[in-house]
Amino acid sequence: MQVDFSQNHFEIFGLEPGFEVDTAALAETYRELQRVVHPDRFASGTEQEKRLAVQRTAQVNEAFQTLKQPLERARYLLQLNGIDINSETDTTVDTEFLMEQMELRERLAEIKNENDPEAALFDLSQTITRKHKAIVDALGKDFADINADSLASARENVRKLQFLNKLQQEADQLDEELADLA
């Protein structure tokens, strides 16, 4: 299996660009590609072969990391369609969603004061997971039939998913803190 540096992430894995990805098959192809391009296979090769192996491995790793995560995959698909999202400055304009996020963050901030903080955190994490799944499902529909409207919707859903991922990271961090206190 040869890796062409001009290939996009999907092409590296022999996939058509799309949001729906079989992550188990992706992981298997990743392992196969690593067996072929890993620098250890070129330990006795020329300096150029070693350098190319390192570059190919980096390219395969980046492609895999991007394609295995829904948020990164969606961002990449938007990029392939000429839409770049700056995760720091590009934010949702859906005021209802933003209000909901504020309420979820308030719940997260208050969890330490709950009688059973672990149960409260579990409930909040379940809520985040449900909302995450709903947005990932919406992204699947957005990218199923790509047009200007579906790309605009996908961009908005990526913005929302960014919020939820950050909130989940904060919940995970609180879970670690609670475990340390136990």
State the Cα–Cα distance between residues 177 and 182, nearest whole angstrom. 9
Q: Which two tokens stand for residue 11?
A: 């092409």
Same domain, 63 and 135: no
Query: Does some domain include residue 63?
Result: yes
Same domain, 168 and 106: yes
For the chain, how many structural domains are there in total?
Answer: 2
The pLDDT of residue 143: 97
The pLDDT of residue 10: 96
The pLDDT of residue 28: 97
Q: What pTM was estimated for this model as a whole?
A: 0.86
Check which CATH number belongs to the domain holding 177 and give it. 1.20.1280
Same domain, 29 and 101: no
User: Do 162 and 98 contact (CB within 8 A), yes or no?
Assistant: no
Same domain, 120 and 170: yes
Same domain, 42 and 107: no
- Which uninterrupted H or E stretch holds 23? helix 23-37
The closest of 159, 168, 154, 150 to 95, measured between CA atoms, is 159
Same domain, 106 and 171: yes
Query: Does some domain include residue 86?
Result: no
Query: Does some domain include residue 75?
Result: no
Query: Does some domain include residue 15?
Result: yes
Domain that holds residue 171: 95-181
Query: Does some domain include residue 76?
Result: no
Same domain, 63 and 99: no
The closest of 166, 155, 161, 157 to 79, measured between CA atoms, is 155
Same domain, 115 and 60: no
The closest of 86, 23, 146, 64 to 154, measured between CA atoms, is 146
Same domain, 99 and 167: yes
Same domain, 61 and 106: no
Same domain, 57 and 122: no
Query: Does some domain include residue 84?
Result: no
Check which CATH number belongs to the domain holding 51 and give it. 1.10.287.110
Same domain, 135 and 175: yes
Residue by residue, pLDDT tens for the chain (182 residues) are 455 778 999 999 999 999 999 999 999 999 999 988 888 888 888 888 888 888 899 999 999 999 999 999 999 999 999 998 876 677 777 899 999 999 999 999 999 899 999 999 999 999 999 999 999 999 999 999 899 999 999 999 999 999 999 999 999 999 999 888 76
State the Cα–Cα distance between residues 47 and 168, nearest whole angstrom. 44
The pLDDT of residue 5: 75
Q: Which two tokens stand for residue 37?
A: 């391009």
The closest of 58, 56, 75 to 67, measured between CA atoms, is 75
User: Do 174 and 121 contact (CB within 8 A), yes or no?
Assistant: yes
Query: Does some domain include residue 51?
Result: yes
The pLDDT of residue 44: 82
Helix spans in 69-116 (H): 70-80, 95-110
User: Do 50 and 42 contact (CB within 8 A), yes or no?
Assistant: yes
The pLDDT of residue 1: 44
- Residues 6+ positions from 33 with CB-CB distance below 8 Å: 1, 3, 12, 13, 60
The closest of 123, 117, 125 to 165, measured between CA atoms, is 125
